[in-house]
Amino acid sequence: MFEEKKIDQLLPGQYVIEIAQQSGSFTLSSSGHIKNTAVIKHLKNKGVESVLIDPSKTLSNEPKISAKKLLVEEVKQAKKIFNESKNIQRRVFADALSGTELDLTPVIEITNKSVDAIFNNPDSLACIVNIREKDEYLLEHSVSVAVYMAIFARYLGIEKPIVQELSIGAFLHDVGKIMVPDEILNKPGKLTDDEFTIMKTHANHSIEIIEKTPGVSKTSLEVAALHHEKINGYGYPNNISGSDITRYGRMIAICDIFDALTADRVYKEGFPHVKAFAILRELAQQNHLDVKLVDLFIKCAGVFPIGSLVELKSKKVAIVEQRNLNDPTKPKVKSFYSAKMNHYINTQEIDLQNSTDEIVKGVRAKDFDLDMNKIIEMLLMQG
């Protein structure tokens, strides 16, 4: 089956059948594979907006376009999508604060781009959400939850049109936080009871703002409305419990908490993924979260998710590049730093299935005074 790809989503190695949409009158001499990014740039300059591709003919192991090069291109594209998402999220918050009706069109466009990228390769965007700006938590949290929601939904086999609606709801789920006073929203310590009461109003604000937004589906609203409800009925804003919390509502609660646990903030460093998984399981045992869905989410993310950092028995720090479904504790990694000598080293790709080395623990970039953004940039350049 052919797929329509927007020109910004087109990647080297993909097989183009014909032009789908364009602003000019450019014609292809023949169908064929995209050889490199220069070809994509040429098409874009000619006014080509989208093309039809044949996914079954995508190159993955031919000499000129290797699987690794394709992955690098996908990660670069994912980073572009993530940054564009943040800019749109910034506008959403500004409109909500001013009382302006939200324009759903750019939200739909960017979440569709994210979903397309995730269906093409979920690992690329999963890697990018590990790059966090401490002072942009509010923006990046909403974008990241939308990404996790789409990855999780795809893993569960939910149809793509529904995944797109779920992603929109997740993208907008915290828009009401813009109404919460800054001193409460960004307070470093524990909130007082009165402050927490004010903080909880963000869920009501989100619902009100989304309800007034033309074009929002019931599914998108449902996702946003249920993200703080708990199975035991002690969530908010409506104390919904048990089977009254839909599957989608249970899913976003997990994605929301996981991202909050793992994200760095100005006043708090995030937990390593393994610690965050343990907390999710504990919350499930306390009947806050759905037990089965928590276990499925952990399987979806992987014990050591793509883009996370690990320390090896050899005292090397490595980034996880590829999962091993047969043994999740032995992924393919790329080492780049010596934890013993505290300096960068020549990178080495290690398949832990075929190595005497092994993972000792999951770590954070800040454990070694490293910048995750620079790590990703370095590895992309090497790719």
CA 64 to chain centre: 29
Instruction: Read off the tokens for 166.
Output: 């779920």
319-326: long-range contacts at Cβ-Cβ below 8 A with a sequence spacing of 24 or more?
A: 319/375, 319/379, 321/349, 322/123, 323/123, 324/352, 324/353, 326/353
d(CA 358, CA 314): 8
CA nearest to 44, candidates 63, 26, 62: 26
177 noted as active-site residue:
yes
Q: What's at 302, amino acid-wise?
A: G
Neighbours of 294 (CB within 10 A): 23
Contact by Cβ (8 Å): 266, 135? yes
What tokens appear for 298 in the block? 């952990």
Which residue type occupies 46? K
CA distance to 4, 176, 237, 240, per residue, from 261 (Å):
37, 20, 21, 23
The alpha-carbon radius of gyration of the chain (Å, integer) is 22
Q: How far apart are CA 354 and CA 232, in angstroms?
A: 45
* Residue from 177, 230, 316, 330 carrying the catalytic annotation: 177
- The tokens describing 158, both together, are 């939910």
Question: Could you give the residue numbers annotated as active site?
Answer: 177
